[in-house]
Amino acid sequence: MSRIGKRPIAIPSGVKVQYAERLLNVKGPKGESDFRVPPQVEVEVDGAEIRVLADYAHDSDARCMMGTVQAVLQNMVTGVSVGFTRTLQLVGVGYRATVQGQNLELSLGFSHPVKMPLPKGVKAEVEGNTMIKLSSHDKVVLGQTAANIRVLRPPEPYQGKGILYQNERIRRKAGKAGKK
C-alpha cells in the first residue's frame, strides 16, 4: 500500500468538494480546481475528509497512482484554501520588472523589454523593481510560470547575474586566470 496514498486529506472550512462521474471539483476562497480521477483509483468524499482507495493487490499501476492522486488532491485543497506563492529575484545591473494588467514586463539587458502574459489564475506583484512575487491556487501552473520567467535569463555562475528563485544560491566559478 502507498504510504502517501493512504493518508486522508482534511477539508478545511470554507472549501467545498464535489465528486461525480470521476471528476473532482474543489472550490475555495482562492479559486476553483478540477481533476479527472484516473480509472486505477477511487476517491471517497465524506464531510470532513477525502480518501483515495485502490485495489493494489490486483493492479500494480494502482499503487503508483494512489500516492500521485493523493498528492495532487492535497495540493488542490491547499491551493484553494491558502494558495501558493513563488518569489523570483532579478540580479543584474538594469534588471527590473513591472506589472501591467495581466502582463509582466521585464528589462533583462536585451535591446527591448520582454512582455510576458501571465496565465489565468496567476497574479504577480513586484517589490522594489527586482522581486517578483507570483501567487496562484494551482501549484503546477504557478511552478511552470516561474520556470518560464526564469528561462529568459537563467543564473550564470561567473558573474551571478540572472533570475533566481528566492533563497537560491549559485555556485560561483572562478574566471580565467590572467597571463603572468
Q: pLDDT by residue (tens digit) across 33-67?
A: 999 999 889 999 998 999 998 877 777 788 888 88
Interval 82-95: pLDDT, tens: 999 999 999 999 99
CA distances 149 to 5, 111, 128, 165, Å, are 33, 17, 18, 10
Give residue 180's pLDDT: 64
Backbone φ, ψ for residue 123 (5° rounding): -115, 145
CATH 3.40.50.460 for domain 9-81: no
**CATH 3.90.930.12-classified regions of the chain:** 9-81, 84-165
Q: What letter does residue 150 receive in the DSSP assignment?
A: H
Q: Which CATH class is domain 84-165?
A: alpha beta
Alpha-carbon distance 144 to 49, whole Å? 29
Q: Tell me if 37 sits within 8 A of 24, measured CB to CB.
A: yes
